[in-house]
Structure 1
Amino acid sequence: MRNSKITWAVIAGVVLAVLAGVGVAIAVNRGSTSPESAPTGAATPSGSAPVLETTPSPSTPPAPSPGADIDGPLDLLLVGVDTRVSIPDWQTHSDAIMLLHVEPGLKSGYLYSLPRDLRVQIPAFKKSGFRGGKYKITEAMAYGSRVPGKKTKNIPNGYELLAKTISNYTGIKTIQAGAILNFGGLDKLVDKLGGIDLTIDQKVKSKHRRPDGTARKLVGSDYVGPQAVYLPGKRHLTGWQAIDYARQRYGLPNGDYDRQRHQRQMVKAILAKALSGNLSDAAKLESVITALGKMLVTVGGRRPVEYAYALRDLQPAGLTMVQLNGSGVGSGSGYLGEQLDAEARGFLSAIAKGKAAAYLKAHPKMVNKG
């Protein structure tokens, strides 16, 4: 089996495929060493009775591979969660929201982001006691995660409310699956892959890290001390560098919109590295799972291995990264959030109607070339 069929889509920093890849790889390895796969005429173990030839019975057709019935289109949601567990009573927000739309045939797709501050109508949610209202989309996770009368958080419920909010806003009827990622653990994943190769498209100064990777000191409400700097050009990034680069928005010309693009670049680079041969056996895949620890939560009605099999032919070259632009909205001098421009809203409508390719052909500047 080709390596790409063993480890599909480490999409958005490894979502469904890493888990699924392990399942596929283990199945392949076990199948190759099962008793039924022993070659004809192989020697019998010492002391065992000889096997007599008999008339072969009609063979039973093999069962379809799990996920073989998934034919697309698919819409998958990838959420980067800011947990800040060291801060008491911190509300869980979705700092990164990416969607992957996979076209029928499952060989090509579109990866795009929604601004974390996008101002949307969040529906009422009985499970958390939330009454609904117009807020920043990043807050949907927090409102949905609340457990009435308790300090604990229910992250899957937060994901459910976020998914409903996105579905209502975009017009996408069904989000088939998703993953919730704590980006604090992605650096370990990138290191397990041996780092990633990325073409940096603009100078980025880190707010959070020093050049040696240690944390900058927080004084009051700002960080002080030397800064890590990422210069334009082809770069090989270690785990902490990749995540740090993808986190930055302050000081960039387009703020969070530039950060969204950098996050998509990181996702595509992780996918490319995963399919380059580093995850060719179950042992290596298992080490990746260990690196992820508890940072990965999958949701959806089917097992990750099913999506892994269904998306086995989706390659980095078939993944188009799309930029959705917008601007701030407010009342007087008060900032309320972001709104997408007409071109971006048109793309969401095209996705929902299955006409993304034609829309991007008419709006080619929306495609990230890097």
Structure 2
Amino acid sequence: MLVVKAGKGGAKPSIWSGVPRWARACTMFGTVLMLLSGVVLVGYEALLSRYEGAVGKADLFGDQAAGAQERKSNIKGPLNILLVGIDPRKPEARPLADSIMVLHVPESMDRAYLFSMPRDLYVEIPKFDKAGYQGGSGKLNGAMSHGSVVQGQNPSTSQGFELLANTVKNVTGIERFDAGAIINFSGFQKIVDAMGGVDMYIERDVRSEHREPDGRHREPNPRGEGYIGPQAEYKKGNAHLKGWQALDYVRQRYPKSGVPDGDYGRQRHQQQFVKAMASQAFSADVVANPIKLDRVIRAAGQSLTFSGRGNSVVDYGVALKGIRPENIEMIKLPGGGIGTGSAYKGEQFVPAVDDFFTALKNEQLDAFMLEHPEFRNKAK
């Protein structure tokens, strides 16, 4: 939630309602929380300073490296914001994009569209001289890994983000991202716990591949792939999830876990969670509780690396203050696998997705969605 000091002359702080948005994995939970929350304007300058100072900043698009001067401007729509979720790995390991989402805000700035890019989407990854990468074909999430290489140093997640952004632009036809963020999933868990958990609807029974009912990690199967031991279960219906449960639930993507449509189902669960998290963060239980609000702000800031290309995360929060959770349209981009078994190469979109990207570019998504209701992701 964004906190902005009260007006001059001792005026009472006003309330600007907004939605927390974003980010994968999740993705992009912490970002949603911050980018779309122009939510409570309290007159505590120290709280705003703490929030702004907690957010990591990086040159995610290579602007500074290219010699471009950051320039502040009024934030106006249409906007495209790239949100990438990662799981922390060892410093010497190349990062992989675990979740890739795009938040599109039309010119009216009163609603938003959120769609996921399959991490296994088979794409052409462009040449990237900074990392010595000559370009090639592969899965979309690998673009961040290829772009992260720094000679004689540990991989750079920020530099990897730049190549991933270039790849997503080529696939979608988006000419320029106005902002971007990297979400650390372990930090995301702290956000949910700081809010006291999150209420959401579980669309079908799901069993965890990774966690036991008490939250402990399951033991690797000594006989081969997978894990052994009791499994955490998420039953169909309304549920209140702790941080580890929420993160675990949105990671599940295998039919044996109860997710018959694989990664597409996981994308849908992630988007459903984004809405639930937005509503929870906007609730009076968080907004009217200064101690809990402060915990949420600090946890969110510590999980986020942000580039507003000249504007701060607070600037974006205020600019998007008019967006409500119910005005976030969650989009599914249908596709299917290329090859099967050992010949599996990745995912590809159905032809109609090209029409979706054309409608996005021409600001005609409302008309497109009326003609293609199958692109609308269900969320309770």
Partners in 2 of 1:342 and 1:332 — Cα distance?
24
Instruction: Tell me which of 44, 68, 75 is aligned to 1:29.
Output: 44
Q: Which secondary structure state, in structure 1, belongs to the residue aligned with residue 97 of structure 2?
A: strand
**Deviates further, 271-280 or 288-297:** 288-297
CA contact (8 A) 1:22 1:286 kept: no
Give, in angstroms, the shift of residue 125 of structure 1.
0.9
> In the superposition, relative to structure 1, how do residues 3 and 241 fare at CA in structure 2: closer, same or farther (>3 Å)?
farther
Give, in angstroms, the shift of residue 351 of structure 1.
1.1
Gaps of 5+ in 2: 1-12, 23-27, 47-71
> In the superposition, relative to structure 1, how do residues 264 and 153 fare at CA in structure 2: closer, same or farther (>3 Å)?
same
Give, in angstroms, the shift of residue 193 of structure 1.
1.0
Confirm or deny that 1:242 pairs with 2:252: no
Matches within 5 A, 1:32-71: 69-71=74-76
Q: TM-score, normalised by structure 1?
A: 0.82
For this pair of structures, how many residues does the alignment match? 331
Runs ≥4 in structure 1, deviation > 6 angstroms? 19-24
> In the superposition, relative to structure 1, how do residues 2 and 226 fare at CA in structure 2: closer, same or farther (>3 Å)?
farther
Give the match for residue 217 of structure 1: 219
**Deviates further, 199-208 or 17-26:** 17-26
Instruction: Tell me which of 219, 240, 263 is aligned to 2:270.
Output: 263
Partners in 2 of 1:186 and 1:119 — Cα distance?
28
Matches within 5 A, 1:1-370: 1=13, 3-5=15-17, 8-11=19-22, 12-15=28-31, 18=34, 25=41, 28-30=43-45, 69-85=74-90, 89-150=92-153, 152-220=154-222, 221-251=225-255, 252-277=259-284, 278-280=286-288, 284-292=292-300, 294-301=302-309, 302-330=311-339, 333-370=342-379
Gaps of 5+ in 1: 32-66
Structure of higher CA gyration radius: 1
CA contact (8 A) 1:189 1:291 kept: yes
CA contact (8 A) 1:8 1:309 kept: no
Q: Which secondary structure state, in structure 2, belongs to the residue aligned with residue 263 of structure 1?
A: helix
> In the superposition, relative to structure 1, how do residues 4 and 235 fare at CA in structure 2: closer, same or farther (>3 Å)?
farther
The one-letter amino acid of 1:258's match is G
The one-letter amino acid of 1:93's match is L
Partners in 1 of 2:344 and 2:299 — Cα distance?
39
Tell me the alpha carbon deviations over residues 129-168 of structure 1, each in whole angstroms, 9 at most, x when there is no partner: 1111111000011111111233x02111111111111111
> In the superposition, relative to structure 1, how do residues 263 and 3 fare at CA in structure 2: closer, same or farther (>3 Å)?
farther
Partners in 1 of 2:157 and 2:377 — Cα distance?
32
CA contact (8 A) 1:93 1:142 kept: yes
Q: Which secondary structure state, in structure 1, belongs to the residue aligned with residue 151 of structure 2?
A: coil
CA contact (8 A) 2:189 2:244 kept: yes
Give, in angstroms, the shift of residue 267 of structure 1.
1.1
The one-letter amino acid of 1:300's match is G
CA contact (8 A) 1:197 1:236 kept: yes
Q: Which secondary structure state, in structure 2, belongs to the residue aligned with residue 213 of structure 1?
A: coil
Identity among equivalent pairs (%): 42
Give, in angstroms, the shift of residue 295 of structure 1.
2.8
Give, in angstroms, the shift of residue 218 of structure 1.
1.3
Give, in angstroms, the shift of residue 4 of structure 1.
4.6
CA contact (8 A) 2:215 2:244 kept: yes
Q: Which secondary structure state, in structure 2, belongs to the residue aligned with residue 127 of structure 1?
A: helix
> In the superposition, relative to structure 1, how do residues 25 and 285 fare at CA in structure 2: closer, same or farther (>3 Å)?
farther
